């Protein structure tokens, strides 16, 4: 079985080393890189293409801004925000830019390992208490309109651009040439698109996006 490749970026060396020790103690997880800033996180993500990137919000360069860039450049890498911030706006911002999990630093080592495994497998995780707070407006006791009406609403601008080209019949290589991306990067984007739309192939993805109005219908 392939090991889950993990990169950890946090500007507190002692905390970072503790997380590394906790995760590296498990045979199915391997730490392939570590850093302390947004610039280092981006470089590590591009160079190593980890399965999972643990990222602190408070790193130099900004964790949210860094997560957004990495989610666009390396869509196959699943980002876990590991932070001390319980600010709901930070949580919302992290999810909107592409983070797959928002974990508070008080989490136990055992739970963190479980979260890393689940996120690597495609799950999304938010601390239960924060999730409840976000999904329901306590004053009105009604759902807050945070969830998309269709899976296609989760597609980023770049993902929509790529799907437009796929709908036109272009191959991954041709899409890459047109959008100035490597073929490997386009493949990563397509993997992410299929996961978001919960479909198995490019045709199904195109049909769902057309039905939702995410793409311009072609004659």
Please report, for the domain that includes residue 127, its CATH number.
Answer: 3.40.50.2300
Question: What pLDDT does residue 42 have?
Answer: 96
Q: Are residues 105 and 157 in the same domain?
A: no
**Would 144 be classed as within a structural domain?**
no
Q: Are residues 98 and 40 in the same domain?
A: yes
User: pTM to 2 decimals?
Assistant: 0.64
Taking each helix axis from N to C end, the angle separating 172-179 and 183-197, rounded to the nearest 10 degrees, works out to 110
Question: What pLDDT does residue 135 have?
Answer: 53
User: For 188-194, which contacts have Cβ atoms below 8 Å and span 24 or more sequence positions?
Assistant: 188/49, 188/74, 188/75, 188/76, 189/75, 189/158, 189/159, 189/162, 190/162, 190/166, 191/75, 191/76, 192/75, 192/76, 192/159, 193/155, 193/159, 193/162, 193/163
The Cβ of residue 16 has, within 10 Å, a number of other Cβ atoms equal to 19
* Residues in CB range of 44: below 8 A, 6 or more apart: 7, 9, 33, 34, 35, 50, 53
Question: What pLDDT does residue 217 have?
Answer: 44
User: For 91-95, which contacts have Cβ atoms below 8 Å and span 24 or more sequence positions?
Assistant: 91/126, 91/130, 91/134, 92/134, 92/146, 93/64, 94/57, 94/63, 94/64, 94/67, 95/126
25: buried, middle or exposed (CB in 10 Å: 19+, 13-18, 0-12)? exposed
Question: What pLDDT does residue 140 have?
Answer: 44
**Would 218 be classed as within a structural domain?**
no
Q: Are residues 126 and 159 in the same domain?
A: no
* Residues in CB range of 107: below 8 A, 6 or more apart: 82, 115
Question: What pLDDT does residue 149 have?
Answer: 54
Number of independent structural domains in the chain: 2
Q: Are 30 and 6 spatial neighbours (Cβ–Cβ below 8 Å)?
A: yes
Question: What pLDDT does residue 205 have?
Answer: 79
How many angstroms separate the CA atoms of 201 and 194, rounded? 7
Which of 103, 137, 171 delimits the end of a domain?
A: 137
pLDDT 10s digit of each residue in the chain, 219 long? 689 999 999 999 999 999 999 999 999 999 999 999 999 999 999 999 999 999 999 999 999 999 999 998 898 899 999 998 888 888 888 888 889 899 999 899 999 999 999 999 888 888 776 766 655 444 444 444 444 456 677 788 888 889 888 877 788 899 999 999 998 889 888 888 888 887 777 777 777 777 666 665 443
Q: 195 lies in which domain range?
A: 151-212
Q: Identify the bridge partners of residue 126 per DSSP, sorted by sequence position.
A: 102
Please report, for the domain that includes residue 182, its CATH number.
Answer: 1.10.10.10
The helix, strand and coil proportions of the chain, stated in percent and rounded to the nearest 5, come to 50, 15, 35
Tokens of 62: 């900004």
């Amino acid at each position: 079985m392939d090991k889950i490749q993990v990169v950890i970026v946090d500007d507190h060396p002692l905390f970072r080393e503790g997380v590394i020790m906790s995760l590296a103690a498990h045979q199915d997880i391997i730490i392939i890189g570590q850093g302390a800033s947004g610039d280092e996180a981006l470089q590590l993500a591009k160079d190593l293409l980890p399965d999972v990137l643990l990222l602190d919000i408070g790193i130099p360069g900004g964790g949210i801004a860094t997560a957004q860039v990495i989610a666009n450049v390396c869509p196959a890498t699943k980002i876990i925000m590991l932070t001390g911030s319980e600010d709901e706006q930070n949580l919302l911002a992290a999810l909107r830019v592409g983070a797959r999990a928002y974990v508070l630093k008080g989490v136990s080592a055992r739970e963190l390992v479980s979260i890393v495994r689940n996120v690597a497998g495609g799950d999304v995780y938010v601390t239960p208490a924060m999730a409840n707070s976000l999904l329901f407006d306590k004053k009105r006791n009604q759902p807050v309109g945070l969830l998309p009406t269709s899976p296609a609403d989760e597609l980023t601008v770049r993902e929509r651009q790529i799907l437009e080209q796929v709908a036109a019949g272009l191959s991954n290589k041709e899409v890459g040439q047109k959008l100035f991306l490597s073929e490997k990067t386009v493949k990563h984007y397509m993997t992410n698109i299929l996961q978001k739309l919960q479909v198995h192939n490019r045709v199904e993805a195109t049909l769902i996006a057309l039905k939702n109005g995410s793409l311009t219908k072609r004659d």
